[in-house]
Amino acid sequence: MEKNKVQYVCKYTPLEILAGFGCEFDLIDKLADDYDIAGQLSHDNLCGFGKSMLQTVLQEKPEELVLVNCCDTMRRTYEVIREEGICKFLFLMDLPHRQSCCAAEKLAKEFKRLKDEYEAYSGKRFDKNKFLDAVCNDPKPEKEGAYIGILGVRCGQELEDEIRELVPGNIRNLTCARNRKVYLSRRGLENLDEYALVEAYARAVLEQFPCGRMGLLEKRRELFSDPNLKGIIYHTIKFCDYYEMEYLKIKAEADFPVVKLETDYTKQSEGQLKTRIEAFAETLTGVGADGMAGASAPTEKIKAHKAAGGHMFVAGIDSGSTSTDVVILDENKKIEASVIIPTGGGANISAEEALHQALEKAGLKAEDLSNIVKTGYGRDYIEAGSNSVTEITCHAKGAHFLCPSARTVIDIGGQDSKAIKIDENGAVLNFVMNDKCAAGTGRFLEMMARALGFTLDEMSTADENWKEDIRISSMCTVFAESEVVSLVAQNKDVADIVHGLNHSVASKVASLAKRVSPEEGYIMTGGVANNQGVVKALEETIGTKLFICDEAQLCGALGAALFALEQIA
């Protein structure tokens, strides 16, 4: 006879009681492709996990589902599922947020209520021995030694798999249901009556490593004193403030690498997430200092060969969303040639064309290059070269080369903005990137220029004679464009509008920079460094001068070329 499969979402779900009925379990932990169905039945403000879970339930229609009311999201999703009549058995359990005798007593009553309702629904009798077999099964100890912890709110199986693939070493998922450990010693339990047994079990459930919604933050902080913890990948879901506050506390106090991944619990923004994870892996392996690109770095140095004239050359290719950049260096780190072309026709096509043009400029052939390193969002799709480094690490490397005194790198690219804190060797100490919104990026400026009928070059100096201090209230690119059109209709001076747009970008980027605890010695990289209006607005906002150089847009490709040089034997 096939066993019942009970779906659940929370580590505080009493799985062992359900095991007493012979049930098996499936954790709902999928990242959604979209919210098409869930969006029709839920409020827009429901968090990403709630929508993702609701989407899964609406699509897969599980017969039995147990939810835990740890936050308002769970109650609302429960109400939607109940109204839709999807499940034959649907249960919402209230969860106390403390560890105390009263909390255990309250939780035991909830467990008893679940037991009674499931017994009435299924017609099965609760088997105490099956329950004891489940709860007295001593969990396997964690693998000893150094490890990287995934912390914060649950991250989804797909994201965990990506982390394990990209980050070398031992990974422990310490989030929510992936960190469930409930155990009781069997001795003496057989003699307890049912109520006492369930109350002892409730205490064991509450004694787990607490989730962020429990009022037990000090117990969560005990983790950070573990000398084996070497870094944290902290996952948050948009608008989940409980975890956002904990992340800020960890970031301020941790003496090891910490990176935040913020998602809406969908599979979108895979490129940005991969970049952040790989950049985090590179900080663990010291890529900024020795040129070895994380887990994917070659184990052996590359043998150099001389080109015509007796010199050795390497290249760096930066495949971005708006431009593809190439830098060719000789063995003395002299730039022999550089090219910036618009990205188009696919990452590999643009890379081939840009590399071809750079080689022509330098008077070289492809076989004259001893090594090629790739970076940028399109790096995985470029056939040339055998190794890649994230643009985070490459911009740090290039910025240090261009300005050795730089400690804070601000890069405004076509698709994202980054703030990077580096040390005296150009190694990454901390970094943050904007989310998938285009606000504060080159794409934002491009769309605003189009709305005003300007080229980007014209927009760069269009605010020189501004008079009225107009503030663009919306940072959403779509809404900001509508706001610009409305301001034009009101006969507002274009210089004033552009000034407002520049300051809106500066405000967004300055807020991003604050999150890395920046130090004096600012350098700006990326194509937007050529926009005089944005540079001036950003300097006014952060209160200091930015180092700007002619090679600002080439910084990523330059860093990649420097890594290519360091990998030469």
Out of 135, 162, 180, pick the residue that ends a domain.
Answer: 135
Is residue 3 exposed (0-12), middle (13-18) or buried (19+ Cβ within 10 Å)? Answer: exposed
Predicted pLDDT at 553: 92
Structure tokens at 253: 């106090």
Is residue 208 exposed (0-12), middle (13-18) or buried (19+ Cβ within 10 Å)? Answer: middle
76 and 106 belong to one structural domain: yes
243 and 357 belong to one structural domain: no
163 and 286 belong to one structural domain: yes
Q: How far apart are CA 68 and CA 382, in angstroms?
A: 46
Could you tell me the CA-to-CA distances from 185 to 68, 138, 204, 330 in Å, in that order?
26, 8, 10, 67
Structural domain for 254, as ranges: 147-290
* Positions of E strands within 238-334: 258-263, 313-319, 323-330
pLDDT in tens, 153-189: 888 889 999 999 999 889 999 988 888 999 998 888 8
Sheet containing strand 522-525, edge to edge, reads 428-433, 417-422, 408-412, 522-525, 546-547
Predicted pLDDT at 297: 40
Helices 72-84 and 48-60, packing angle to 10 deg: 20
Predicted pLDDT at 4: 65
- For the chain, how many structural domains are there in total? 4
The secondary structure element, H or E, covering residue 442 is: helix 442-452
List of the chain residues with pLDDT < 50: 1-2, 287-299
Predicted pLDDT at 394: 95
170 and 60 belong to one structural domain: no
412 and 394 belong to one structural domain: no
342 and 413 belong to one structural domain: no
pLDDT in tens, 455-488: 888 888 888 888 888 887 666 666 677 777 888 8
Predicted pLDDT at 476: 66
Predicted pLDDT at 299: 43
104 and 41 belong to one structural domain: yes
